[in-house]
Amino acid sequence: MRLIILSINSNQNSMANLKDRRTFLKTLGGAAAISPFISSSSFAASLPNYTGKKLGIALVGLGSYATRQIGVALEETEYWKVTGIVTGSPEKIPAWKTKWSLKDENIYSYENFDKIADNKEIDVVYILLPNGLHKEYTIRAAKAGKHVICEKPMANTADEAEEMVKACKAAGVKLAVGYRLHFEPFNMQAQKWGKEQTFGRLDYIHAAFAFKIGDPKQWRLKKALSGGGPMMDVGIYCVQAARYVSGEEPISVTAQYGPITDKERFNEVEESVSWQMEFPSGTYMTGWTSYKSNTERLHASGPQGSFDLSPVFGYGPLKGTSRLGPMDLPIVHHQRAQMEAMGPMFLSADPIPSHCSGEEGLRDMKIMMAIFEAAKTGKKIKLG
């Protein structure tokens, strides 16, 4: 099998991080001991004992995330090999071609992308394009008979995400979403605490993720390409955290847009948004995201204590503390942990685990669309 990726870089600390991750997993007795995100068999397979043929992966889009994160993750992987790239920037081709010894016929443009259907060296494509292009290239990849990993958010709208899920099912290919924090020790520990009710049933969760956006001409500020502003970009991490820490799905949302302080920059997307979610057990969540501040925090509390992680959603190093004391966990390269765990998922005949499947991405899209509706109308939106 083969997978295509669109970016590359180096990481001097990669091997140390990978060793830390393996030690962490072995100490806890496998992933099943900390999170239902990943099965113990998947994690066992991700340890350094796989000697089979690597999956061929093609990266669609060679932007900074492909270059600085996913490409780096694939440099020391047990399961993957970059066997193709898809790019509209010819100047990026030489470095990728040299790094991965790519064949000329495995280098695609967006115009001839569909020809990957004839390429037996490509098993999976990783969609690393702006959000507004996720649907098109996921569906084109599915029709070409290739499995798909799509970055989150999955699409611009819930309807688009649903089309992607249906297209992959119809084509008989797998669809995964790049939820890197599902494979990161600090977030996995937070999820475990919530699931096991270490501090009692959680009654309150707060999550915030914001950063000061730069270039006013970038795609994130164009609604056709982004689907929205900070909510779609980084607010999704807060929605995800509330869901995997509570272990429940929200039943209603309310939301409020923040003031626009830069009308020229934010003439298409929101500058900030606050929202509140209610869960079946009574857990209440407040969230906030913005393009005009720098913060990332996850707090959860119950009758027997609380925990705080900050920073928690970025690339780290992550930190956290709880009533039990400081969180002493390994610092890992998030995307490497993600790709190592996803390797066995694509080698297996089983469906992609629900926590990182297309259906999971669709659930997030429905919640975020409800948040936008609540902020626009001022009404409580019920979720079914």
Burial of 22 from C-beta contacts in 10 A (0-12 / 13-18 / 19+)? middle
From 135, 152, 174, 192, the catalytic residue? 152
The answer to whether residue 99 is catalytic is no
Residue 152 annotated in active site: yes
Query: What does each C-alpha distance from 121 to 84, 202, 347 come to in angstroms?
Result: 8, 48, 14
Radius of gyration of the chain (CA): 20
Alpha carbon separation from 125 to 4, 29, 114, 310 (Å, rounded): 5, 32, 12, 33
Three-state DSSP state, 381: strand
Q: Out of 65, 137, 179, 237, pick the active-site residue.
A: 237
How far apart, in whole angstroms, are the C-alpha atoms of residue 341 and residue 316? 20
Residue 54, token pair as written in the block: 């690597």
Indicate the burial class of 211 (C-beta count within 10 angstroms; 0-12, 13-18, 19 or more).
middle
Measuring CA to CA, how many Å separate 8 from each of 5, 131, 180, 262? 8, 21, 17, 35
3-state secondary structure of 242: helix
Name the nearest CA neighbour of 287 among 204, 383, 348, 193.
Answer: 204
What is the three-class DSSP state of 177? strand
Cis peptide before 303 (omega within 30 of 0): no
Across-strand partners of 3?
Answer: 82, 124
Which residues partner with 205 through β-bridges?
Answer: 285, 300
The residue written with tokens 């495995």 in the block is 106
Q: Which residues carry out catalysis? A: 152, 237
